Every structure is written in C-alpha cells, then in structure tokens.
Amino acid sequence: MNKDSPIGVFDSGIGGLTVLHSIMDALPRENTVYLGDTARAPYGAKSVETVLRYSIENSEFLVEKGVKVVVVACNTSTAIALEHLRERLSVLVIGVIEPGVKRAVRSTRNKKVGVIGTEATIQSGAYTGALKAADGRIEVYSRACPLFAPLVEEGWTDNAVVEMTVKAYMGSLKQSGIDTLILGCTHYPLLKKAIRKYLGSSVRLVDSAEETALEVALALKKNMLAKMRGKGIHSFFVTDAPERFIKVGRRFLGEKVESAVRIER
C-alpha cells in the first residue's frame, strides 16, 4: 500500500456510486476500486448480524485489492459495522454518517434535525446517537423510507408516485419544524428535487455523499494523496451479473460505468 494505491469504496449495491461520484469530483487524480454487493442487496431490511458479516467480507475484499482507505458508502453498513471495521482493519476506514452529522450540526439553527434512511439505519439509532453526542440540545426526528431506494433504482425521481411517497413519509417531519434534513441513504441524493419541493427551500438538505467525499479528501491530504498525474483509473466489482449495474449505474455515477467484474460470493 502506498500513496498511489486506490481508494476502496463498498456499498450494498448500486447506490454507493453517489459517494464514488462525489469522491471522483473532489479527488479526480485518485484511482478507485468499487465493490457493489448486488447479489445480496438490499441491506436496509436485513438483520444486524447479516449486515455485519457482509460488511466485513466486502471490506476484506477491498483490503486484498491493496486500497489505502476503505470508504463505507452504505449508510446501513456504516450504522451497523463501522466501529467493528475500524477495529478489524489495518487501513483507514471512513463511513458516511459522521460527515453528514458534522454538516447538520453546523447547519441547524433551531436544533431540530431530521434523518431519513433505511429501516436498519434508523433502527440502529446511529444518526441519533451521533447527533446527540455532537450537541445534546439537538432534537432528532427520524423516519425510515424503505420505498425510496427501489423508486430511484427504477429511475423514478420526479413523478406523481414519487410526490405521493415523499408526502406520505415526510408529512410528520414537515410538521415537526426541522430546519435540516440528513439524506441518510445512498439513493436519496437523487430525490433532492422532490424532497425540496415538498419541504420547501427553508429546510437544508445534507447530502452524505458530498460530505463524505470532503472527509476523504481531508484525510488523504495529510500525506496520502496520489502522486500520479492525470485522471484516476476506476475499477468496478459486483457480486451478481454486471448488466443491471452497468445500465442503472449511470444514473448514480453521472457517467457510464464501462465494465464491471463479477466476483463469487
């Protein structure tokens, strides 16, 4: 492992490409290795033991690839497995929750912060715990939104079904008077427009993907930035047939995923 080693990113599947996208924007010269556990996604309704086991396997794969940092792009994995991975791995491990929480704490004026994510993420209490640890006066309003991820994967981000779903999930959050909302799931940055339309522009939306990329950049700037010139090389690995990942991946990455290698699980 050296400065030119890749940044490793894993997710339960496709959604983590939003995090990779932000990392590529923030650090265009870095090589990256992405693993999407597409065969076993979604993680959002799975048990703690299962998400933990999958997260360990994913990160060990990345470490074997010689990465200099493991980015846990999946909110569900971060909520359940981050501390465990930090103890277990010899490389730096960065999750998506702390960066989003830091931004939310800086952003809120009325100390009412909303969090949306998968069932497992919300049930873990990881966001609530981190927000409260950062500022005990913050009131946290959280809501699981399990239908959001499949809608986004279907390419539905801006139609009547999305509007109705946003309203159904976010009605009570709107009532609570939050001024900041953490988008605590890989897929939700693609729903920003619909969420903003419903909540109004006075509610600040925190994009965990962007905040995490800034955190990765900050960590690498200490003395781990790539020395290479030119654009980084990006490799993709998946645990199921790559076709759907390549097809749907463009929506999340903003550009085409040229190819992905299937690994056995």
Binding residues (CB under 6 A) for ligand DGL: these are 11-13, 15, 41-44, 74-76, 117-118, 121, 149, 185-187
Query: Quick one: tokens of 108?
Result: 């809120």
Q: Is 74 a catalytic residue?
A: yes
The minimum distance between CB 74 and ligand DGL, in angstroms, equals 4
The minimum distance between CB 228 and ligand DGL, in angstroms, equals 30
The residue (of 42 and 224) whose beta carbon lies closer to ligand DGL is: 42
Q: Is 185 a catalytic residue?
A: yes
Helix (H/G/I), strand (E/B), else coil: 94: strand
The minimum distance between CB 214 and ligand DGL, in angstroms, equals 18
Q: What is the total residue count of the chain?
A: 265
Query: Which residue is catalytic, options 74, 94, 97, 226?
Result: 74
Nearest position to ligand DGL, beta carbon: 44
Q: Which residues pair with 33 in a beta bridge?
A: 8, 235
Q: Are strands 69-72 and 7-11 parallel, antiparallel or unpaired?
A: parallel
C-alpha distance from residue 36 to each of 20, 85, 181, 206, 225 (Å) = 11, 17, 26, 23, 24
The minimum distance between CB 207 and ligand DGL, in angstroms, equals 12
Question: Measured between alpha carbons, how far is 137 from 11 in angstroms, rounded to an integer?
Answer: 32
The residue (of 126 and 178) whose beta carbon lies closer to ligand DGL is: 126
The residue (of 15 and 242) whose beta carbon lies closer to ligand DGL is: 15
Question: Measured between alpha carbons, how far is 34 from 39 in angstroms, rounded to an integer?
Answer: 15
Asked whether 112 and 178 are in contact (CB, 8 A), the reply is yes
Angle 59-48-112 from CA coordinates, rounded to 5°? 100
The residue (of 8 and 117) whose beta carbon lies closer to ligand DGL is: 117
Catalytic (active-site) positions: 74, 185
